[in-house]
Amino acid sequence: MKKFFAILNLSIFCLFCTASELTILNRQGGALTGAQRRDVTIEIKKTESPNNVETIEYRLESLADGEQFFQLRCSAELTGENISVFDGLELVPANASEHHKQQLFLGTFPLAAAWTATEGIAVAAGAEDHHSFLYMDLRRGGGKAVITQTVNAALLKKGSIYEGKFHVIQFSPKYGERDAMSRYYKLYPQRFLPNPEVDPRLYGISATYSSWIRSNPEWARFTGAEWEWCLHAGRHWGDLTGDYYDMPHEKYIERYYFTQRDGKFDPKNLNGMPQDEFREIQKQRLADGYYCGIANGYYTTGASRINKAMSAKFNDSLAAAHPQVLDHYDYADSVFAFPETSWFKELMRMIRVVADRDDVGAIAFDIPLESEVYRGPKLREMTNAGFDKFGAGVVRAVANSKLYQAINQVPAKFGNYKLGVIKNGNSLHQINDCFYADNCMAEANPWQYAPPWPRFVRYAMGEKGATFWEGYHPEEFDANYNSWPQEDRDQLIRDLGHYAAHRAFLYGVTCGAHFTSEYLTNLAPAMQACIDARYKVVPGLETADGDITVTRYGNADRSFIALCNKSKTVKTPTVEVFAGEFSSDIADAPAGNALIFAGFLGGDISNLYRNGKEFVSAPVQPLRVNILEAVGAAPAGATGEITAKWDSRFAQMTLTLVSKNYSGAVQLREQFGSYKAEHGGSVKLSPGQPVSVIYRNSLSFIDDDAIKAMPLIDGSPRFTIRYADDHWSREMAERTAVFFRELGKYRVPLEKDSALPEFTVALSLNGKVPALTAPGIGGNAENLVVHAASREELSTMTRLMLDVLNNIKYPEYIWGVKMDDTDRSIFQTRRYSCSYR
């Protein structure tokens, strides 16, 4: 590693029209004096990363006791005409010759990019650098643009360190800044891809976000929910375990427990809840995760706010005076969980207790208040302290990032996972900790901000989870909404649902339970499939139709295309597919095999291969979506047209291909989740000769028609719900009873059946439940049986069985506003969640 003590002016590379440099300056932005150079060691290392990325690593170490402040500046220059610039949040107006923006703040990504029609260059700060104060500047004019990033670094005592990276990225301008984003994500897969060690449900659709109200299992099922905020974990803010239970109570929080206990809230009578009663409520709430088939996110505000009575014990962790602090929370003090502080140690102790004790998939942090600045006594012990006009400090987003990383190392009680982290993000705050969270709740509904909302949430989270909060709130559109005729009330929800679906599929931001309607319920399997494949920032797609938005999820033949029609007429857009980009996530990557797409929701999809190019064409109803699924590949350079169509049932799916003028072999996927091709995926096509490939569901041991014919109810239930001896089977028997009680208004008796193997539940007309030889859903004309290999599998399998019952036998059971005829027309076949995992 090269060491020197000087102003650095390092030219990284200079191509035809790009150049970049790194400079280290004093606090005011001037050159370092000789004394300043003597008091610091500066180490610089330049490396070349894949995908045309140059990385400049720097490390500053103080050699003196006093405080030192530096500006670390990296610039890149682009020459050419009509230069567009992205400042980390949005495009800089074309006529702006200068522009300044604080990055990592207010949703702004730490990447600035400039591009012409033919080339682009970006400067980005490292995603793991824990910066507090980062800025971008633009100077544009005279046929060139210079983009600069500046880090404010503080060394507060001898031995203090500030280290980080700048990345200078050459990228294709084909999709604006997106190719630069994709290349950046590839530098930090651990920050922008799902963590394989946490429960994968944490990246999916969220439930109601009602931490203090018990989950409704049917609502969660209709939503397609896979995780939930779960009960404020303590009686006091910051008390995760109940260790601080006897402190003076907080009526603000406790009211919800009382509401839950007896449905009434009496503010004059709040002191009487004993801790054991509180714990019982808490246990009931946490049991909902298994009961509803969702992962529990353990709600806490503990990353930022604790009860005032607790704060004296952790005074090294509290907010020092800061002129910008604005506290909304009456009963709590601002607290920081930096690893150097006592609060971090106490919080981690409590998290480990919770993880050992309860069914918790993630810690879910509300009110993370990422931009508040810590200037307390532990600041001098920290690396990468920054500074602003008020002096040295580190933002809470840095504390959160390190806290989240520590949480990711804690084993969960169930499922052989580590704890995940969910955060309630807010556009008003710093985004660093999004890089360390598994899912980010955007506390807003889709229409709360104008497009490109919620793009910045998606950019900050990379390919991890993101979700809207709120819901329809129709009374906000008209205070008199409740007095509208029912049809008009439903129509408003339908209209808003169409918009919600568009914004959700455009950026892979899921809609939580408060958006549930029949339309979004039917779209939920598609959203789950897309999220599971992961949002891709480089679309790899183009269409000339301005009313159609295109989004890609997943790679190659594991990919999906979401088409949203913003117009009020039916559209059949032709979309060019760049198969090389589908495989690499890099714009302009060379093409490989051509992909074949079928409609996830049904319908004929045309795949046209011509002159080495590939086009897919699919109808999209007005204001609706269509989801295409890659089902296989044709050889590179293929010529001709193939239409593909799914016909999906629970027991099997049939993929039918028709060649119009294509002759030759294609390679189809051999497996879609639990569905496996009967005779492999290699198929030969000839013009005009339809070919069907059948995929059998390995989880199904009963035909759809047998389920449909089962005479379960004849005025009243004719069956009982039988369950094995174990506790978990009993729970799922009760869960199954809820389906009939809530939706059919039938009370079904439960019977223990000791003859059943562990993890088994059955709907039985004759009391003679057949044994399943493998996990799945099966039975005969008089029994429908669910059998699983584990507790976790039984929970999700039972929910799947109820989905199957709902769709095959009781389609009249819906949640929320019904679909209209156009909505209904887009769902031409039905897919189940097991079809893609």
Which parts of this chain interact with other proteins (CB under 8 A)?
90, 93, 211-212, 256, 326-327, 329-330, 366-367, 447-453, 473, 475-480, 482-484, 487-488, 491-492, 494-496, 498-499, 566-568, 623
Q: How far is the C-alpha of 574 from the C-alpha of 295, rounded, in Å?
A: 40
Least distance (Å) between residue 204 CB and other proteins? 23
Q: How far is the CB of 260 from other proteins (least distance, A)?
A: 12
Q: Is the peptide bond before 452 cis (omega within 30 degrees of 0)?
A: yes
- Nearest approach in angstroms of CB 623 to other proteins is 6
Rank residues 751 and 820 by Cβ distance to other proteins and give the closer one. 820
Nearer to other proteins, 178 or 498 (CB): 498
CB atoms within 10 A of CB 289: 27
Residue number with CB closer to other proteins (447 or 810)? 447
Q: Closest CB to other proteins among 212 and 387?
A: 212
What letter does residue 381 receive in the DSSP assignment?
A: G
DSSP-derived secondary structure for 715-761: SEE--EEEE-SSHHHHHHHHHHHHHIIIII-----EEE-TTSPSSEE
Residue 124 burial (CB count, 10 A): 27
Minimum distance of other proteins from residue 627's CB (angstroms): 19
Residue type for position 196: P
**DSSP reduced 3-state for 707:** helix
The amino acid present at 691, given as its one-letter code, is V
CB of 499 to other proteins, least distance (A): 5
679 C-beta neighbours (distance < 10 Å), count: 9
What is the nearest approach in angstroms of other proteins to the Cβ of residue 456?
9
CB 233 within 8 A of CB 354: yes
Distance in Å, CB of 492 to other proteins, minimum: 5
Nearer to other proteins, 270 or 348 (CB): 270
Q: Which is nearer to other proteins, 26 or 448 (CB)?
A: 448
Closest to other proteins by CB, 564 vs 577, is: 564
Cis peptide upstream of residue 454 (ω within 30 degrees of 0)? yes
CB of 567 to other proteins, least distance (A): 8
| H or E segment to which residue 10 belongs | strand 9-14
Q: Which is nearer to other proteins, 501 or 527 (CB)?
A: 501
Residue whose CB is less far from other proteins, 367 or 618: 367
Residue 452 CB, shortest distance to other proteins, in Å, is: 8
Q: What tokens were used for 53?
A: 């990325």
Alpha helices in 392-485 (DSSP H): 396-407, 455-461
* Euclidean distance between CA atoms 240 and 247, whole angstroms: 14
- Amino acid symbol at 578: F
Determine the Cα–Cα distance for residues 661 and 489; give it in Å rounded to an integer. Answer: 49
Q: How far is the CB of 477 from other proteins (least distance, A)?
A: 5
Residue closer to other proteins, measured from CB, 149 or 300: 300
Residue 181 parent element (H or E): helix 178-187
CB of 484 to other proteins, least distance (A): 6
**Cβ density class 479-493: b for 16+ within 10 Å, e for less:** eeeeeeeeeebbebb
29: left (phi over 0), alpha (psi -120 to 50) or beta: left
Question: CA-based Rg of the chain, rounded to a whole angstrom?
Answer: 28
Give the torsion through C-alpha atoms of 581, 522, 420, 213, to 10 deg: 160
CB-nearer residue toward other proteins: 327 or 542? 327
State the minimum distance, in angstroms, from the CB of residue 494 to other proteins: 8
**C-beta closer to other proteins: residue 240 or 743:** 240
Which CB, 131 or 494, lies closer to other proteins? 494
* 3-class SS of residue 86: strand
Q: How far apart are CB 330 and other proteins at their closest, in Å?
A: 4
Residue 175 CB, shortest distance to other proteins, in Å, is 21
What does residue 230 show for φ and ψ, rounded to 5 degrees?
Answer: -135, 110
Task: Name residue 297's beta-bridge partners.
Answer: 229, 362
Structure tokens at 672: 């879609």
- 397 CB neighbour count, 10 Å cutoff: 27
List phi, psi (to 5°) of 135: -135, 150
User: Residue 418: phi, psi to the nearest 5?
Assistant: -95, 160
Q: Which is nearer to other proteins, 445 or 617 (CB)?
A: 445
| The token pair that represents 659 in the structure block | 């060649």
